[in-house]
Structure 1
Amino acid sequence: MIVSAGKNETFPFARPIGVGLVESAINLTKLCLFNRPEYILFIGSAGSYGKYKIFDIVESKNSSNVELSFLENFSYTPIDNAVIIDTKLTISEVVVNSSNYISTNSNLSKDFLKFNIDLENMEFFSVLSVAKEFEIPAFGIFVVTNYANESAHSDFIKNHKEAMRILVKYLEDKNIIKEAK
């Protein structure tokens, strides 16, 4: 099953699950309970902490939930804040961070790279958490739309349409989907 956040990122071949950590977890859980898929492929956009360039395509099976306050030693968490899905579907070791907030401080954003965290996407941690709970193979394919900096939102808006075109072409070229209409 191919899923996406929805709202700005809808595709005729993907089921929308909602934006952010909560909506995506609730809606994907419902899908898994009532129509358990063989695998979950999450597709969408991502912000780069600096390693990847705009319009790069990145595959991942690893996610974290690390907040900026943690990087500044203003918080801690007693829960596990990383999910790794052991699957043969992808070999990428890229870690995608998820939060309900978009990082806009470029200096702090670069600190994620010290923890080997390369990208951010609001939903991926929830997707992998649900997949792990249901023991369903899962991974994500992302297209970079912006850097995690002061112009993150405006760059996302500016690059989004072209990024979605590039993502669909990648999925077609990899024979993950047939021609999208």
Structure 2
Amino acid sequence: MAEKMPPAQRRRGTALEDVLLEAAWTELQRTGYAEFTIDAVARAARTSRAVLYRRWPHRAALVLAALRAHVTPVAEDVPDTGSLGGDVIAVLSTLAGRADVGGLDVLVGLLSELDEVPESLTTTVPDVLRQVLARAAARGEIGRGDIPATVLELPVFLLRYDMVVNRRTPSGERLTEIVDDLFLPLVQRYASA
């Protein structure tokens, strides 16, 4: 006689969200961003699309949540190499390395599809760079002048440009160029004012 299986337990809260994000991550790795669908994630998680849409209003939001569940936020591990240039290059290297984790097509697709980039994406890196700059000022590498937001955003905009427009992950040489030739001269100009 066949053994009866216990009835499936209804998943809720964090347990459900973990299953959904894991299914999304697996599907993303399998198909890439262009072929990623809410339907496929719902099938993999053995749930309905409505369950997913209650948490994430569109696929870009779900992909972003899946990435966040699998990648340590840069703000949680701010590099301290002992020099301003080294710290900024390390931050950019961490961000560029995310293309290796999620896939460049995932990052390009995500950035191109988000109608509104969540505030956390636009403020996190400048906040991290403010920490890096404060440490550099404490070490005496730079003055304590006010650095405009545009200068703080510049390295990330250039990184995104390389990844979205040029469709390549910037090399270490390119990151050094962004920092040494563009970012640091602007920081020195404003920090010493």
**What range describes the TM-score normalised by the shorter chain of this pair?**
under 0.3
Q: Answer 1 or 2: higher relative contact order, Cα 8 Å, separation at least 6.
A: 1
Between structures 1 and 2, the one with greater helix share: 2
Query: When the two structures are superposed, what TM-score results if normalisation uses the length of structure 1?
Result: 0.27
Query: When the two structures are superposed, what TM-score results if normalisation uses the length of structure 2?
Result: 0.26
